[in-house]
A and B are shown apart, each in its own frame.
Chain A
């Protein structure tokens, strides 16, 4: 039976979500999407710069992908709601990644404003995926608010530092009845695999892929790691113990 992640009525078989920021050229985005088989891609909404000609990012995202706008730039719930409504009205579907940030050094999300925005937008029929600092009580409130998934950070955005929030994410996976998607901070495929082995439903990766020496190859590497981690989770890892336990029989030795 196929292993499917269902969010907002959509069936997702590739559990690597890709952010589109920081690629050296937009042309690498569709190549990375294809190399990795990615189905969910994030974008942002910004003011047009009147001085410079800019490219239309949507032109680089294959049509069969789910384009998920984020609310980056929002400093409170009200701004996030405004961005989400504009994105939907612009024909970007009804998925939204809530991102409310007012801390400029670590770019940590404002959980309180995120809950407020989630409640409003879920009430308006959005499929809401909130980016959050892993906290069990906040995650429970996001469930009540109508989130479609919960996206705890692994480490600060763009830091490539890995799954620093491991223990808190583990608790969310155990206690929250929604898909837990580790978003931000994962720097290596092994770290994505670790999150998936723990039972994360998916991971969202951007910087680690976009800033790799070969972003297209790295997208594929992450995709393989995510699939391997997922398979390992489903297979059920064996127990870990302190002392050695022989793997070969302890009888019939060639001595005495």
Chain B
């Protein structure tokens, strides 16, 4: 199944949740921010969201900047 992860077409297994995606990418949940179809999703809701075809997921983090 295809989703757009940080703007890039990405193939993921069916039934993957946001938590599953974060784990698959080996990301530390404490340091990232997840936006799903332009809505910010709090960590406690990651388990409950099963990704669907063509969903847009942005995974962001704070970085250095002036």
Cα(A173)–Cα(B30), bound, Å: 41
Determine if A54 and B61 form an interchain contact, defined as CB atoms under 8 angstroms apart.
yes
Q: Given contacts A58-B31, A86-B40, are A48 and B61 in contact (CB under 8 A)?
A: yes
The yes or no answer to A5 lying at the interface (CB within 8 A) is no
The answer, yes or no, to whether B33 is at the interface (CB within 8 Å) is yes
The answer, yes or no, to whether B45 is at the interface (CB within 8 Å) is no
Contact of B65 among A19, A54, A56, A89 (CB under 8 A): A19
Of the residues B6, B25, B40, contact of A47 by C-beta under 8 Å: B6
B20 nearest CB across to chain A (Å): 15
Please count how many residues in chain A sit with their CB below 8 Å of the partner chain's CB atoms: 36
**How long is the Cα–Cα vector from A58 to B61 in the complex, in angstroms?**
9
Interface residues of A in 11-43 (CB under 8 A from B): 19-23, 26, 29, 42-43
- Assess whether B58 is interfacial by the CB under 8 Å rule: yes
- A-facing mask of B38-54, CB < 8 A → 1, else 0? 00101000000000000
CA distance A86 to B5 in the complex (A): 17
> How far is it, in angstroms, between the C-alpha of A87 and the C-alpha of B32 when the chains are bound?
11
The reply to whether A21 and B64 contact each other, CB–CB distance below 8 Å, is yes
A-B contact number at CB 8 A: 87
- Report B-chain residues with C-beta under 8 Å of the C-beta of A44: 62-66
A254 within 8 A of B: no
Instruction: Kindly provide the distance from the CB of B58 to the nearest chain A CB, expressed in whole angstroms.
Output: 7
CB distance A22 to B61 under 8 Å? no
A92–B64 CA distance with the chains assembled, in angstroms: 14
CA distance A87 to B39 in the complex (A): 13
Q: List 15 A-B contacts (CB under 8 A).
A: A19-B66, A21-B65, A44-B65, A45-B33, A48-B59, A50-B5, A50-B6, A56-B28, A56-B61, A67-B62, A87-B62, A89-B42, A90-B40, A204-B66, A206-B66
Residues of B near any A CB (own CB < 8 A): 5-7, 25, 27-28, 30-33, 35, 40, 42, 58-66
